[in-house]
Amino acid sequence: MKRIFLTGASAGFGLLSARALCKRGHQVWGTSRDIIRLPRLENFHPIALDLNDPASIASGFDRALWEAGFFDVLVNNAGAGVFGPLESFTDAEFAAQLDTMVCGPQRLIRRALPDMRARREGLIVNVSSLAGEFPMPFMIPYSMAKAAMSAMSEGLVMELSGSGVDIIDLRPGDFKTQFHDSTRRLGTALDEAYQPGIEHAWKTIDVNMNRAQDPTKVSQALVAIVEGRLRGPIIVRGDIFQARIFRFLVRLVPRKWVQWGQCVYYGLKTPR
C-alpha cells in the first residue's frame, strides 16, 4: 500500500488514476481547486488546493502530510489549457499557465523532498506531455510549461542521484479526455488576424481528441509506475505514430522539416 499525493484528481487522467489506485488499496490524497468536484471513493482523501496560490499549496499539502504521516509518491498531474495567439495572452493569463504546470509543481516538490530524502525513499511523477517536445500552435504557454516540467524532471534525476528518491517524467500524447472541452479560447479581436489558421488548428485538435485513444492507458501506466512495475526516467504513452514512429523520425531529419510537417497537420501556411 502506497500513500500518494495526486494533483488534478477531479477529472481526466487524475480522476481515472485516483479510481484505479484506490481500487488497488492505495491511499490517495487527491486535490482540486473545487473540493466538491472530487470523487467519493474508499481510500480517497479530498484536499482543496489551488496550484496558482502558494498559500493554498502550503496549507493543502501540509494538511495532507499531517493526515498521511508521510508520502511514498507525489504525482504532479494537474493541467489546464488556454487556446489563442501568444500575443493575445495577458501577463496574468500567461503567468497562470506557468503557475499551474511549473511553479505550483516545483513548490510541491520542494515541500515533499525533505521527508523523502530523510527516509531515503520516495517517488515523484511529473505528468508532462508530448506537447513539450512538439509545441502546439495557439497553445504556446501550455507547450512551454510542459517542456519546462520535463526539463525539471530530467534535472532532478541528476540532482537526486543516490538519494533514494526517483523521478519519472510521464509524457502522454493525445487521449480522449475532457481536456479539449475544458480548454478556454481567448476569443480576442486578434483571432481575425490569424484566420484561417487559428480555426483550422482548433478543428484539427478537436477532431484529433475525439478520435484519440482510451485515457485509461495513461492511468494504467501511472498505477504500474507507482507499484514499481514500470520504470525509467521518461515514459511515453500515445498511439504508435505519436509515441514511437514520429519521435524516431524527428531525430533523423532537420527540425525545420518537423515544423513544416506540423504546419501541414494543423492546416497552417508552411514556413519558408
Q: What is the mean pLDDT of each run of 10 residues along the chain (272 residues)?
A: 96 95 98 95 97 97 97 96 93 95 97 97 96 91 96 97 97 82 80 85 85 89 96 88 71 83 82 70
pLDDT given at position 118: 97
Q: Give the rounded distance of the alpha carbon of 196 from its chain centre.
A: 29
pTM of the model: 0.92
Partners of residue 82 on adjacent β-strands? 184
Tell me if residue 142 is catalytic. Answer: yes
Of the candidates 10, 88, 146, 153, the residue annotated as catalytic is 146
- CA–CA separation, 80 and 88 (whole Å): 17
Residue 271 lies in a domain: no
Tell me if residue 146 is catalytic. Answer: yes
pLDDT given at position 243: 66
For residue 158, what are the domain limits? 3-266
Domain count, the chain: 1
- CA–CA separation, 214 and 44 (whole Å): 23
Residue 272 lies in a domain: no
Of the candidates 32, 128, 129, 153, the residue annotated as catalytic is 128
pLDDT given at position 5: 98
Give yes or no for a contact between 202 and 83, defined as CB atoms under 8 angstroms apart: yes
pLDDT given at position 228: 94
Residue 223 lies in a domain: yes
pLDDT given at position 208: 81
- b/e per residue 42-78 (b: at least 16 CB within 10 A): eebbbbebbbbeeebbeebbeebbeebeebbbbbbbb
Backbone angles phi, psi at 177, to 5 degrees: -115, -170
The percent helix, strand, coil of the chain (3-state, each to 5) is: 50, 15, 30
CATH code for the domain in which residue 201 is found = 3.40.50.720
Of the candidates 142, 150, 219, 266, the residue annotated as catalytic is 142
Residue 44 lies in a domain: yes
Tell me if residue 265 is catalytic. Answer: no
